[in-house]
A and B are shown apart, each in its own frame.
Chain A
Amino acid sequence: STVVLCFEAPTEFKFDVRVGDKVKMGQKLGIIGKNDLK
């Protein structure tokens, strides 16, 4: 089985994972750059 996320995010968004990485539920997948915060 697979879970696919598709989402809109500011261009500053960066993935914190790479293809092939093993992840656990709740682990950080990515973060939006702090510059974008208001």
Chain B
Amino acid sequence: STRLFVQQRRSSGEIVDRAKAAAANSGRKQVSMKWVVLTSFTIVLGTILLVSRNDSTEEDATEGKKGRRTRKIKIFNNNWLFFCYSTLPLNAMSRLWGQVNSLTLPIWVRPWGYRLYSFLFGVNLDEMEDPDLTHYANLSEFFYRNIKPGTRPVAQGEDVIASPSDGKILQVGIINSETGEIEQVKGMTYSIKEFLGTHSHPLMSKSASSLDLTSDEEKHREFARVNRIQLAGSEDTEQPLLNFKNEGDQSVREFKPSVSKNIHLLSQLSLNYFSNGFSCSEPHDTELFFAVIYLAPGDYHHFHSPVDWVCKVRRHFPGDLFSVAPYFQRNFPNLFVLNERVALLGSWKYGFFSMTPVGATNVGSIKLNFDQEFVTNSKSDKHLEPHTCYQAVYENASKILGGMPLVKGEEMGGFELG
């Protein structure tokens, strides 16, 4: 009976073990089932969201073609990859990159390092002003190298606009003066008012430059005469104030933006458009044009004046330092409005003229030769408040011209590492 009891006990124990194992198996199966269900649900939901998003994108594109853009593209609409990218501390990384590349390299490393960089990014070493690579103490100096005089002949002709820098043309065209939109890529635009800022910017910090070139008054008068630029404060510049009254669309079919729309848009960009001689003396049927030039890492990174003009206002927008490589321009809406930039506004013989260097990842230090105190993306940078526009005027540079005269081909500044 004892043996029987022991056998029964063993068999009951086995039964319990089997039951436990079965229970564990069924538990595992339940967990697996839950994972399968959850994964399937996620895939289905994700697919639905993706399809609906694609539909809305197509709708946007259709609306864009019809010229009735009602939805504004948001930065994180593209995909999670861009969202993750946008959360990176790119400004700090760029500053660190600049500091690291400002360290003096051992002389024996320099030729090897710079030749490797040149091989990777297509630098033309033959046109360097100083061809001895050992003279460049670090990559920052090499990056901001000078080129031999005469290697960049400037296209002559007073009605010719020359390229301000080396690079690749990313976009050229006409700005829609009605909406004030510039095309970033086909179907994707950004606002010129956000890009260049307006005098009514809610967070505008204003200052005046300390430049004083009054000793060159005669030269400035000649500059104004040759380029048909109105003198600041002269009676000629005082034009009657315009009142804009909306009388609706009077045209049946409008092919070209009217002059008044241009004037309206430009007067929003700068309060001084009329009073400070921004408008040209001889009225033309004008349009607003734009050109975007991308500087690759191997390009000569100085920028020069594309025409004879007078720079009157500088607006600094501290911002992000996203990459401005063509891929990002195609996929990152409002890229130029988000990035750190310096909008230089002024006038030339045909009216409004502006040139805006836009910073990028690792190349956030924008330098202006005629404004030595100005720095960007630096620890000494006083312009740190985000979403703030820091405006300075160059009236003191020339009382005659009301700004800084810039001759075509003259070096204006450049982009440095950091």
Contacts and interface: CB of A to CB of B under 8 A. Distances in A.
Interface of A: 1-11, 13, 15, 17-32, 34, 36-38
B168 A7 contact: no
Interface string B245-277: 000000000001000001000100000000000
Q: Which of A7, A24, A26 has the most CB of B within 10 A?
A: A7
B353 A4 contact: no
Given A15-B291, A26-B155, A5 B358 contact: no
A26 B168 contact: no
Contacts, number: 181
Contacts of B354: 5-7
Given A3-B165, A5-B354, 9 more contacts: A1-B294, A1-B363, A2-B357, A5-B291, A6-B356, A7-B161, A26-B163, A28-B160, A30-B291
A37 B172 CA distance: 23
B345 to A, nearest CB: 9
Interface residues of B, number: 65
B289 A13 contact: yes
A25 B163 contact: yes
Interface stretch (B14-22, B48-56, B295-303, B380-388): B295-303
Given A1-B415, A23-B166, A10 B286 contact: yes
B32 interface: no
28 contacts: A2-B167, A2-B292, A2-B295, A4-B291, A4-B293, A4-B336, A5-B161, A5-B355, A6-B175, A6-B196, A7-B354, A8-B287, A8-B288, A9-B161, A9-B351, A10-B285, A10-B350, A19-B170, A25-B163, A25-B304, A26-B163, A29-B161, A29-B291, A29-B306, A31-B159, A31-B160, A31-B161, A37-B159
